[in-house]
Structure 1
């Protein structure tokens, strides 16, 4: 299957929320224990900025209206200005599109464009038990920068969180550039 991407629109938010909610029962990719609502994600979406903190949706070639995953570059550590050179990456896939190459595609596209958005580093956290995600990120050059033992509780199961990061090649914000689109 061939995937493409585009900038997310407000009309994509229900599909984005559905994809995010699909991982909650699995207890493998988020510490949210209850489904989120579209209304609860409105502010998150409104704060995204295609020129700085974009959200991109994946779709099958020729079907841009069917959202099959999403990736976002978000403010790092509560958006404190000193961290503006680092993006917190989030990547979620529709269950029917996991293991099909879409995750690798979306991750490679985000990494390829992050420097032009002004980032020097991309970082994220992944549950230590989520070997599939850890392999994906490692295959794109991310390295383990730390491990936080038992910081999450998923229905009584203590979970370690692995902090991974990727330094990017030297582009700066001043060099401009737009998003993936």
Structure 2
């Protein structure tokens, strides 16, 4: 399957929320505990900027209006100005489009595009049990920068260690 991507539009927000809510219910890739609403994600969407903190949606190359995943370049840590050169990158895929190359495609595009956003470092946190995501990010040059044991408690006995990964991009890449 061939994937492509484009900037997300407000019309994509329901599909983005559906994909994210599927991840919440799986308890394998986010610390949100309850499904979110489109209304609750509008401010987050409005804070994205195509020139610095875009949200991309992935789609099958021949179906550009069908969102099959998304990638964000979110502010790092607290969003303080000194961290503007670093983006917290996140990839979420529709369950039917996992392990089909979409994550590899989106993350590869993000690494290549990050310098155009004035980003020098990409970083993210991944649950240690999420081996597929750890492999994905490792395959794009992300290295483990730290491990936080037992810091995520999703209830019902689901406790995760969190792995902090990152990589420089552009001229700062090694």
Q: CA deviation at 1:78?
A: 1.6
Corresponding pairs, count? 171
* Residue aligning to 1:9: 9
Q: Report the Cα distance in structure 2 between the residues aligned to 1:112 and 1:60, rounded to whole angstroms.
A: 20
Q: Report the Cα distance in structure 1 between the residues aligned to 2:135 and 2:90, rounded to whole angstroms.
A: 15
Q: Report the Cα distance in structure 1 between the residues aligned to 2:5 and 2:71, rounded to whole angstroms.
A: 10
Q: CA deviation at 1:170?
A: 2.0
Q: Does 1:39 align with 2:60?
A: no
**Larger mean Cα displacement after TM superposition, 6-15 or 23-32:** 23-32
Unaligned runs of 5+ in 2: none
Q: CA deviation at 1:33?
A: 1.1
Moved over 3 A (4+): none
Equivalent residue runs for 1:117-128 within 5 Å: 117-128=117-128
Q: Normalising by structure 2, report the TM-score.
A: 0.96
* Residue aligning to 2:115: 115
Equivalent residue runs for 1:86-165 within 5 Å: 86-155=86-155, 156-165=157-166
- Quote the RMSD (CA, aligned, Å): 0.9
Q: Report the Cα distance in structure 2 between the residues aligned to 1:6 and 1:159, rounded to whole angstroms.
A: 32
Q: Secondary structure at the match of 2:14?
A: helix
Equivalent residue runs for 1:65-76 within 5 Å: 65-76=65-76
Q: Secondary structure at the match of 2:133?
A: helix
Q: Normalising by structure 1, report the TM-score.
A: 0.93
Structure with bigger RCO (C-alpha 8 Å, 6+ apart): 1
| Partner deviation per Cα, 1:128-147 (whole Å, 9 max, x = no partner) | 00000000000000000000
Q: CA deviation at 1:118?
A: 0.3
| Partner deviation per Cα, 1:103-157 (whole Å, 9 max, x = no partner) | 0000001111001110110000000000000000000000000001100112222
